[in-house]
Amino acid sequence: MKKRPVLDYLAHTNLPWLWAAVFATTLPHAFHLPTWISVVIALMLIHVVWQWRTGYRITPAWVRVGLVCLSCAGVALQFGLPPSGESGIAMLALLICMKLLELKSHRDSVVLLTLCYFLLLTHYLYSQNILSGLWLVVSALIIAASLLKIHTDPQQSVFAILSHATRLFLQALPLMLALYLLFPRVDGPLWGRPQGVHSVTGLSNNMAPGNIAGLITSEEIAFRVQFEGAPPPRKQLYWRGPVLTHYNGRTWEGEDFLVQPPDMEPRGKAVNYTLTLEAHQRHWLLPLEMPTHVESEGVDAVMTRNGLLRSRYRPIITRTRLKLVSYPEYRLDAERQLPPMLQRSSLQLPRDYNPRALELARSWRDENPDSRQLAQRALNYFHNEAFYYTLEPPLLGAQAMDDFLFNTRRGFCEHYASAFVTLMRAAGVPARVVTGYLGGELNPVDNFFIVRQSSAHAWAEIWIANEGWIRIDPTAAIDPTRVEANVAGNLVDGDPGGAGGGTINWLQVLGYRWDALENSWNQWVLGYTPGQQRELLSSIGLSNTSWQRITILLIIVMATLLLTLTLWLLRTRPAPADPTWKLWQKALRHLEKHGVRTRTWETPLALAKRLQTERPELAEPVLAIARLVCAARYEPGASDRTAKIRTLLHNLS
């Protein structure tokens, strides 16, 4: 029976390095791959460790073939056919681990490490944060060190190999920075797939009781804002999202009228700001009410008839930066009559739903039909009756608004906005629900406003002739502090009506610093857009550069860096000083004091032989020194002889 080959000594010492490279490369994928694939990979890595300790032997061919067949079948069943990006990554991770089971030659090690580089790159398709970047840098160093290990002296220490790999990395760093800064940029991230982008959905195009309350507990970031100058007062920080007009008795749904934008009359002071929007898989852009100007690369922004700023063609599937101008004070559609289509949608109510609410609103209208007075009557009703805020309201029945207004009286912002709009429509006042975000949290480290999913909010708009759409937030009728402070900040210690606040402790400071670092990473690394590249080049005097000029500049810079690095590596380095040779030079200076002139071509032993005839009294100590010097230079493994040479020099002098 033919025995399976055993790794030779060199390959056996390389195995821990190869294992470390595979482990570092596959570990990040354990958070994204199906559990069974992660378990199979872990078992194979454990098996390789056991083999290394007991004597590595190549796994039998029938086992390897069986593993490949079972893995292919499992991946096909897991991800389906035809193959996709996820299935390809999963199969690559499995096959790399299987390669550890059949190492036979130096070539196998090189192939394995090359595949590790490919698998390392695929992790950017799932995660692009700072921690992932740091882990991938460490993994790349491990792979580079493994390549050095299999090509260098097997007796070299771990520290020496890692130091060498680090030096190579530092030498490549200028080239990497030049490529990153000057390579012609494209719109969108370099690494990304629309179907695999990590995002938080956040707001949707419909609202049912509990939708927004479910977001309040989420600390995921919806977007960041950087104001030019002082930010507006917190009570004006309404970030406008989907506008909901159609109501079926329980759920509000949005209708995007793309006919023309609303008639917006700005008032007061303009607010200039940059909004960095996280991917949310939707079309809306969430500006500060109300925007008049927007600039963005790769996004065709349009304003719908109901005041929603949205991307015309594609959803926001990547982090997107927008420059906007908004007016917190404005008049919207301040005309004598609403367009018939918009008026019908703003008065629509389902039949046979919520009769008690409709009867109440009609009785108010009969007493006073003035739209503002009706709105104030509804707000007073919320304020004076026993209504409460809670994240866990009781379930509502089929007549949802009747049940809320007259029975449970407990809910969150979507309950109050929904009830208010229902009452207004029943009273004949055009009204609609607006969803978005309220407020934000200032990071004092980088002065960015952070708006999280926990700041999700719903409010209402009513239309009044000659005044247009007026924002009314029923939240203020229950607890005005929810408008003046961050909504999520008030929900502390299980007290839904409490007021948040307090001093900033060291943990919060640390969190702010980390968030500022993460924001810088997002803005300047992941979000390095063509616009930012042009701004960078303009700052160094290269304005109005086309991609052709950038390419030429990149070639010149890269060639200069490569030439500089080559000259630095090929520079003539002085040989390290030999202490024994220094002592021999000292001996020659002593001989010159005794009148002995040495010749430049003369070796130590030749000089000692000449002195036997010319100066016999000096021949014996010089010969002893010459023998020690030659032994030290040509027998590197011998013990140090410098002490003996110094003793003889003392006798010679």
Residue carrying the six token digits 């301040």: 334
Rounded Cα distance between 413 and 472, Å, is 12
Pick from 147, 257, 211, 224: nearest CA to 457: 211
Q: Residue 2: which of 51, 42, 63, 60 has the closest Cα?
A: 60
The alpha carbon dihedral of 95, 97, 98, 100 has a sign of positive
Q: Quote the tokens at residue 616.
A: 């016999």
Which among 91, 99, 29 is positioned nearest to 58, based on CA atoms? Answer: 99
Specify whether the CB–CB gap between 279 and 429 falls below 8 A. Answer: no
What stretches of 6-101 show up as alpha helix (H) in DSSP? 9-26, 35-54, 61-79, 85-99
What is the CB-side half-sphere exposure of residue 600 using CA atoms within 13 A?
A: 0
SS (H, E, C) 219-259: CCEEEEEEECCCCCCHHHCEEEEEEEEEECCCCEEECCCCC
Strands of 164-304 (E only): list them.
Answer: 206-207, 221-227, 238-247, 252-254, 264-267, 271-277, 291-295, 301-303
- Non-local CB neighbours of 556 within 8 Å, separated by 6+ positions: none
Structure tokens at 455: 């700041």
Residue tagged active-site, from 333, 402, 403, 473? 473
The upper half-sphere exposure of residue 198, i.e. CA atoms within 13 Å in the direction of its Cβ, equals: 12
Identify the active-site residue in 32, 283, 333, 413.
413
DSSP lists the bridge partners of residue 492 as: 495
- How many C-beta neighbours within 10 Å does residue 512 have? 19
473 is catalytic: yes
In which residue are the tokens 């409490």 written? Answer: 498
User: Is 153 known to be catalytic?
Assistant: no
Q: Is residue 446 annotated as a catalytic residue, yes or no?
A: no
Which of 123, 280, 415, 457 does the annotation list as catalytic? 457
Active site residues: 413, 457, 473
